Amino acid sequence: MSAPRIGVLALHGGVAEHGEALAAVGAEPVEVRGARALPRLDGLVLPGGESTTVRLLAGREGLVSGLGELIAEGLPTLATCAGLIALADRIEGGEEPLVGGLAVTVSRNAYGRQLASFEAPLAVPSLGPPPVEGVFIRAPRIVAWDERRVEVLAFHGEDPVLVRQGDILAAAFHPELTDDRRVHRLFVDDLVGARGTAAAIHDPLAEGASRVRT
């Protein structure tokens, strides 16, 4: 069986780090820079970074509508930090959602600006011991969520920081910045694996995509 091809939105943020984590758990990471690469994927990662920059670049490259359609159709998606903001159905302060599809309300930079970045151990019962080390950098806070649709996998204090809704796995922290690959393995094995890899074999170097160097 071929390795699942996981697109990493390569506009901003921890693209290389996500590529390394995906490769470590047996997936083939593929940089996504344009909309033409999207239909050839088994899964998608929306990295962290500066959410305003992601919003501008995604709009310029014509990716927003394509991302929304594929995620709505069930493409397994891992979103971290700014990626979580991109998928949130509501953003405090009146900012329009970028992609949407995740039934949460987020507050941008709620844990503080860059200088307030921190690390904290996170108990994730579904992943077992030891705790996952959460790296929070200008992290969003999930301030409300639809309990009928969204399963909370981990809290920091009273705040959900790792959630799952169907084929979406979203983290307020950066699992790609540690050597612990359990979040990426959960994504690849449970979400992507449950869907199965694409039947057709495509050229990973086609226009709009390139291999992530790991």
**CATH at residue 206:** 3.40.50.880
Which residues are part of the catalytic machinery?
A: 81, 174, 176
Residues 15-48 have pLDDT tens digits of 999 999 999 999 999 998 877 767 789 999 999 8
pTM of the model: 0.86
Q: How far is CA 40 from CA 6, 37, 109, 202, in A?
A: 9, 6, 33, 7
Mean pLDDT of the chain: 85
CA 11 – CA 61 distance, rounded (Å) = 9
> How does residue 144 score in pLDDT terms, banded at 50, 70 and 90?
very high
Q: Which residues of 166-182 are buried (b: 16+ CB within 10 A; e: fewer)?
A: ebbbbbbbbbbbbebbb
In sequence order, the 6+-apart residues with CB closer than 8 A to the CB of 120 are 133, 134, 136, 156
The parent domain of residue 183 ranges over: 5-211
Model pLDDT, residue 60: 62
Total structural domains within the chain: 1
Packing angle of the helix pair 64-72, 51-60 (nearest 10 deg) = 100
Residues 47-92 have pLDDT tens digits of 987 666 666 666 666 677 778 888 999 999 999 999 999 999 999 9
